[in-house]
Structure 1
């Protein structure tokens, strides 16, 4: 396991591949600046060969002069390589499929020709003065001995890292750990893990990759990406920093704020229950939980909400208890007797069962009267 790890952002490349998402050059510059301010040291900013606006974005980003490694993504073609060079970046992730299914059906070629292409294009990129990372597309469905062959060819040609990509999100944490641990034994080449979330495993797999000793993890803000998305950068960063005391070198509060901005710019709403960044992750209704929080917040808080500039909150509903009612009315400047709190709790449960929402401030005042209407009979 690593006491320190590089967390690389690919929101502007793989994240932007989410259907309907488009970041303008100005927005890309804004996100890159904020990523750098948060402490992110490597940013995969896009695919230069994709369109003119992408090239414009790269030129604007490179003109910032940030002390951050800006990476371009490209295929192993002359067109992509020339576009990368024109983008003014110093580093490229050259990607090629390594699984037999993609080699045979997507590339319509064979393993030998793939190795020859790696040798050719890594060599060309190095001759152009570029730092080269080999991107192993669909590594999780590739034969491990072939991965080692590909790594060795790239290493001989001067590449500096290999990206192990779980392109269709089929891994689980145990297999991730076992596979990457074996690769670590078979090659001294630095490894990067890049996970997709098709089975909801991307963050867990990224943590397993860290345990296996990879040099870096590639992820996106909010887990943005095609299909089910990618590993969520904020989830990985928060877990490693707060639960494993890993030096991720990232301002967590700044990263949280950047996630909210990315959600707005991408027009992708954050579910209220989304880990780390969801609006309701510190909102409690259960009477047992509220009682526990009031006694000691650590009873039901995995991390201090002040880290992201929030506070724990309570809401009233079907699962509320007497303590929740007493606390809520105390916040309104009203001290209730124990019996009055029980009576009002009964009204609240009836109300929320009928209305399917918590009561408003005005309705809470109305509950103080004995004749407030209710239409169901839920016990306390």
Structure 2
């Protein structure tokens, strides 16, 4: 314990949990990957059976614990796809997401999935403008459906929808009811993305004191809080987080798989690396991006082309001395590489020196500083690509080696 009375982290990681967070599941969580359910609701998404199977296998290879599929009640093709993926024999458990209705439950059970994720809206908005049912009806329906699913021996999760705009007493009452029935998990859903991390922490911590089963959380990203909310939920005692690849889903989507993994890696690198094949992330994201006809964003967590690109001179110098100065993630752990950009007016001579050494050229520090000044001069007119910079460096080196006086150096 520190002299000021605060509890210090048990490791040297300042971003890890403290001993006081005894309910935290930051070091013990599971991912319910919903690209093939929530992701199908993305504006551009259309996955045929072959593509669904390819994505399911890739997710399984990455190491997610659960794969959630669109309800078989959505269409005949959805039913067939659900049965096909359930029959693959993947390591991940196969779930399907269904309304809290007996007909949906029966149809889903027939597909051979490992479990059912049951959901019904509990906010006043959804009770008035969606299904039109009161809480007494919802509770009775939940009891009937949950008991039926449990009688088949399958996993069952019961989730409210629009949880953060639902009455807290209503929520706790229905969660307590289904917990006593023996559900595997109860679910909290920020369906409209309105929650903030403090609200999430408080609700999950309250719920943790009410139910003994696991707690699953589903966060939409309408206001940019999905990853932070997911982390706060785990700190408060949640056990499962819903994700989708690249965060695709209804509207702005949900917690992105890559973003969540990056956040959790920062909290406990060894745990995350032991659970998931992080070097498969880029391949997985490229697969899904191609399937929904989008590009991986330039600033995407881990795999965006700028994620490990360093440009400013003082950043580049520090990175070359010790990458941890400006990188909290190790690119090599994700199968990525860093790139130090030098063809611009912000470049520094240390970064240029590193490139000179990579090219096997011999220049003194003063000569490196001289050629750096030339790069800056040219980059004031337009940025230089790596090939143009390398051409300039080789020309400069050749001129110095020949003892020539350099009046101009051209870059092609």
When the two structures are superposed, what TM-score results if normalisation uses the length of structure 2?
0.83
Of the candidates 247, 257, 262, which is equivalent to residue 238 of structure 1?
262
* Deviation beyond 6 Å, 4+ runs, structure 1: none
Secondary structure at 1:162 match in 2: strand
Measured after TM superposition, the shift of residue 360 of structure 1 is 4.2
User: CA shift at 1:128, angstroms?
Assistant: 5.0
Pairwise mapping of residues 222-301 of structure 1 onto structure 2 (< 5 A)? 222-245=246-269, 247-248=271-272, 249-301=275-327
2:105 match: secondary structure: helix
Question: What is the aligned partner in structure 2 of residue 100 from structure 1?
Answer: 124
**1:365 and 1:38 mapped to 2: Cα distance?**
41
Number of the residue aligned with 2:139: 115
Per the alignment, residue 320 of structure 1 pairs with 347
Q: Is the deviation greater in 47-56 or in 342-351?
A: 342-351
Q: Secondary structure at the match of 1:186?
A: coil
Alignment equivalent of 2:183, drawn from 159, 179, 187: 159
Count of aligned pairs: 373
In 1, the alpha carbon distance for the partners of 2:285 and 2:350 equals 34
For 1:261-298, what per-residue CA distance to the aligned partner results, in whole angstroms no more than 9, with x for missing partners? Answer: 22222322111221222122111111111111111122
> TM-score under structure 1 normalisation?
0.90
SS of aligned partner of 2:138: helix
Closer, same or farther: CA 352–111 of 1 in aligned 2, 3 Å? farther
SS in 2 for 1:273: coil
* Aligned mate of 1:354, from 377, 381, 391: 381
Q: 1:296 to 1:366 in 2, by over 3 A?
A: closer
Cα offset, 1:64, TM superposition: 1.4
Does the CA contact (< 8 Å) of 2:278 and 2:335 recur in 1?
no
Contact 1:352–1:359 (Cα < 8 Å) also in 2: no
The residue number in structure 2 matching 1:199 is 223
Q: For the Cα contact (< 8 Å) 1:260–1:277, is it kept in 2?
A: no
Question: Does residue 371 in structure 1 map to residue 408 in structure 2?
Answer: yes
Q: Is the 8 A contact 1:234 1:255 kept in 2?
A: yes
Whether the 8 Å CA contact 2:375–2:389 is kept in 1: the answer is no
1:9 maps to 2:36: no
Does 2:356 correspond to 1:329?
Answer: yes
Asked if the contact 1:283/1:315 (under 8 Å) is kept, the reply is yes
Aligned 8 A contact 2:392 2:410 in 1: no
Bigger shift: residues 344-353 or 8-17: 344-353
Q: Distance in 2 between matches of 1:14 and 1:303?
A: 28
- The answer to whether 1:214 aligns with 2:251 is no
Structure 2 residues without counterparts, runs of 5 or longer: 1-23, 397-405
Structure 1: which 5+ residue stretches go unaligned? Answer: 375-380
Tell me the SS of whatever aligns to 2:264. Answer: helix
